[in-house]
Structure 1
Amino acid sequence: MEFLVDMVTSVPEGTTDDEVAAMRAREATRTAELVAQGNLLRLWRPPLAPGEWRTWGLFDADDADQLEFLLASMPLRAWRQDTVTPLSPHPSDPGRPAR
């Protein structure tokens, strides 16, 4: 099952640039692992307001419980608010295999 996840990150006040850089490095490592496992399919950067830190991700998971497990494994989750939208196939999807 595919899920679109709107991920909005808010860095806590008082966090140093070094702490932010370390968190981003851990997040990049975990993101690469999720890609290699086939759970993270795509990432997009939507239009951002000044200072906004936001990403849209397309995830593949067995169900909502597995997705939550995957999202919770990402280091930035500590600073992030996620909004999950479950997706279902559209009959006119040009990427959908023909029957």
Structure 2
Amino acid sequence: MKDFLVEITTDVPQDVPAEEVDRRRAAETARARELAATGRLFRLWRPVGEKRSIGIWRAADEAELRTDVLGTLPLWPWMTAVVTPLEPHPNDPSTHT
């Protein structure tokens, strides 16, 4: 699997009922846990004071990431994602002991 840096911004349309948003957010939490358990969601952060998220996600390629991973998120229809493929850096401390 390859690593991807993914920046996600969620913009819920104003006409969506609060109950629907709450239902999807709860489902989103459950789905994120499932994706983490399968190694697809590796890390996730939220910049202080912002509503966007930044994460390290894993998939075979970007197409799979967008369809089979991110596309399964309940909030995905309201999300905009910037995907950056990553590769190891020669000076990555995790590769040196």
> Does 1:9 find its partner at 2:10?
yes
TM-score (ref. length: structure 1): 0.87
Q: Separation in 2 of the partners of 1:17 and 1:96? A: 46
**Which contiguous aligned blocks of 4+ residues in structure 1 show a shift greater than 6 angstroms?**
none
Q: Who is 1:66 aligned against?
A: 64
Matches within 5 A, 1:1-99: 1-49=2-50, 53-68=51-66, 69-96=68-95
Corresponding residue SS for 2:93: coil
Gapped regions of structure 2 (runs ≥ 5): none
Provide the aligned length of Structure 1 versus Structure 2.
95
Structure 1 vs Structure 2 CA RMSD:
1.4
Gapped regions of structure 1 (runs ≥ 5): none
TM-score (ref. length: structure 2): 0.89
